[in-house]
Structure 1
Amino acid sequence: MNRVEHVMGFPVSLRIDDEGGGSRMDETADALFAWLREVDARFSPFRPDSEVCRYDRGELRLPQLSADLTEVLDLCEQYRIATGGAFDVRLPGRPLDPCAVVKGWSVQRAAELLTAAGARRFILNAGGDVVVSGGPWRVGVRHPEHADQLCTVLELTDGAVATSARYERGDHIVDGRTGRPATGLLSLSVVAASLTEADATATAAFAMGPEGVDWAAARPGCEVFAVDAERRVRRTAGFPVATVAA
């Protein structure tokens, strides 16, 4: 099965390589994309009627929040504390924006729908952040300055990889400690067991700047590939770079 839809502002592609499954996998794919559309409606900071916006305006109190939003806000707070405030979804003068956690968290949940339905070999790509199962799968990481080139290719069997960078949306990641855009890195990719961890860690580390590379590398189960503003590459020893066939 191969399927692509535009959800949450970016393309989401799903490939399932299991034999059989038929209509059951079609139904699961339907449920997966329905879940992502639901997340967009409930968590978008750009939709005035979303749960996030209603909470930010004070129309909802903590006891009234869904279990999902409560979980997301708890994760946001964990990363804020862990980064000393560099990662912060409540920047002064700006609306609440938990997207840096919501994306990875929701796509990981979508991957779990596939696993629960019996899918064993799949790749789910959400705007360049990827969850895989039953590999090996090869995943390319875009060069931070040349859109038609890759800076590395990794090989994953089960797990996730997420990249934070400046090339798609400019200097959109802000260091919450200073209130200024984070410009010390060009891109930073994190491999972890789940996309929840990989995506949030990549964004949080990027907000920290060069010091975020070591911070991310010290987190249990995380491997890192980064390019700093001076074009120097930093990579942890366990980052799963694909071998090139002779």
Structure 2
Amino acid sequence: MHHAEHVMGTVVSIDLADDLPEATLRGLVGDVCAWLHEVDERFSTYREGSEVCRFRRRELTLEECSPDMRLVLDACADLWRSTDGYFDAYAAGPLDPSGFVKGWSVEVASARLAAAGSTNHCINAGGDIRARGLSSSGKPWRVGIRHPWEADKLSWVLSLADAAVATSGTYERGDHVFNPRTGKPARGLRSVTVVGPDLSLADAYATTALAMGTPGIEWLTKFIPDGYESAVVTDDARAFTTPNLPAAV
């Protein structure tokens, strides 16, 4: 079953390849969509009444926030410490945890699907992807990474059976990632893709490396022992990959 949902400012594609009754599959899709809309309502920086906006205006104390809000704030604080400040939910000014929230929400959605019996699925939220099991063809899921200059071409095609993929770049949304050391838009890297076991971390690592610029290429290699591989394209069109990137043959 395939379903596309407009939520969180993008189109989320949900593909279920399980041999389950259609009514069950529809119910699973409905649960995923309901969760993603809940996340959007809570964490949108564009909705005046969202929880994150109310917290930014100090209408809510930390103690009054929801468990999900406190979890996200704690995760962003941990990432700020572990990345030497390069992952900064305040880099552009007011609190904006979007660099963590989208990947986290899709990771949670995938875990919920797995717990409900869907062991073969793929969720794609605007390039933040969580895949489990096999596709409807009985083969691993294939994920194309867009060429950062030519929209009709791909830089890499990945083969995934149980992994997350996150890509952060400047070629679609422009200057949306800032270097917190300079306060200016990130420069040096055009596209950063991270593949690993957890989408929330893959998303955060990709955003962090983009913020770092070219030093982010070497920084990403420290996560190889944890199962995170990467593919990077620089502003001057050089390409780098870690040794075990799951590229399709």
User: Structure 2 length normalisation: TM-score?
Assistant: 0.94
Residue 211 (structure 1) aligned with residue 210 (structure 2): no
Residue 80 (structure 1) aligned with residue 80 (structure 2): yes
Cα distance in 2 for partners of 1:91, 1:228 equals: 22
Which residue identity is paired with 1:226?
V
Aligned residues: 242
Structure 2 unaligned blocks of 5 or more? 135-139
Cα distance in 2 for partners of 1:42, 1:173 equals: 22
What is the Cα-based RMSD across aligned positions, in Å?
Answer: 1.1
Cα distance in 2 for partners of 1:87, 1:175 equals: 9
Structure 1 unaligned blocks of 5 or more? none
Any conservation in 1 of the 2:128–2:165 contact (CA below 8 Å)? Answer: yes
Corresponding residue number in structure 2 for 1:241: 247
Corresponding residue number in structure 2 for 1:225: 231
- Per the TM alignment, residue 91 of structure 1 is displaced from its structure 2 partner at its CA by 3.0
Q: Aligned to 1:218, what secondary structure does the other structure show?
A: helix
- Per the TM alignment, residue 145 of structure 1 is displaced from its structure 2 partner at its CA by 0.5
Matches within 5 A, 1:1-246: 1-91=1-91, 94-135=93-134, 136-219=140-223, 220-243=226-249
- Per the TM alignment, residue 22 of structure 1 is displaced from its structure 2 partner at its CA by 2.2
Q: Which moved more, 1:196-205 or 1:182-191?
A: 196-205
Q: Which moved more, 1:60-69 or 1:83-92?
A: 83-92
Cα distance in 2 for partners of 1:23, 1:116 equals: 17
**Which string of whole-angstrom CA distances, capped at 9 and with x for unpartnered residues, describes residues 153-203 of structure 1?**
111110110000011111210011110100110000000101111111111
Any conservation in 1 of the 2:87–2:204 contact (CA below 8 Å)? Answer: no
Q: Aligned to 2:104, what secondary structure does the other structure show?
A: helix
Which residue identity is paired with 2:213?
G
- Per the TM alignment, residue 17 of structure 1 is displaced from its structure 2 partner at its CA by 1.1
Any conservation in 2 of the 1:45–1:95 contact (CA below 8 Å)? Answer: no
Any conservation in 2 of the 1:87–1:208 contact (CA below 8 Å)? Answer: no
Which residue identity is paired with 1:12?
V
- Per the TM alignment, residue 206 of structure 1 is displaced from its structure 2 partner at its CA by 0.8
Q: How high is the sequence identity, in percent, across the aligned residues?
A: 47
- Per the TM alignment, residue 82 of structure 1 is displaced from its structure 2 partner at its CA by 2.0
Which residue identity is paired with 2:5?
E
Any conservation in 2 of the 1:138–1:154 contact (CA below 8 Å)? Answer: yes
Cα distance in 2 for partners of 1:53, 1:102 equals: 14
Q: Aligned to 1:71, what secondary structure does the other structure show?
A: helix
Please list every run of at least 4 consecutive aligned residues from structure 1 whose deviation after the TM superposition is greater than 2 angstroms: none
Which residue identity is paired with 2:142?
R
Cα distance in 1 for partners of 2:85, 2:241 equals: 25
Corresponding residue number in structure 1 for 2:137: none
Any conservation in 1 of the 2:14–2:124 contact (CA below 8 Å)? Answer: yes
User: Structure 1 length normalisation: TM-score?
Assistant: 0.95
- Per the TM alignment, residue 123 of structure 1 is displaced from its structure 2 partner at its CA by 1.0
Any conservation in 2 of the 1:83–1:208 contact (CA below 8 Å)? Answer: no
**Which string of whole-angstrom CA distances, capped at 9 and with x for unpartnered residues, describes residues 7-53 of structure 1?**
11100011111112321221111011011011110011111111101
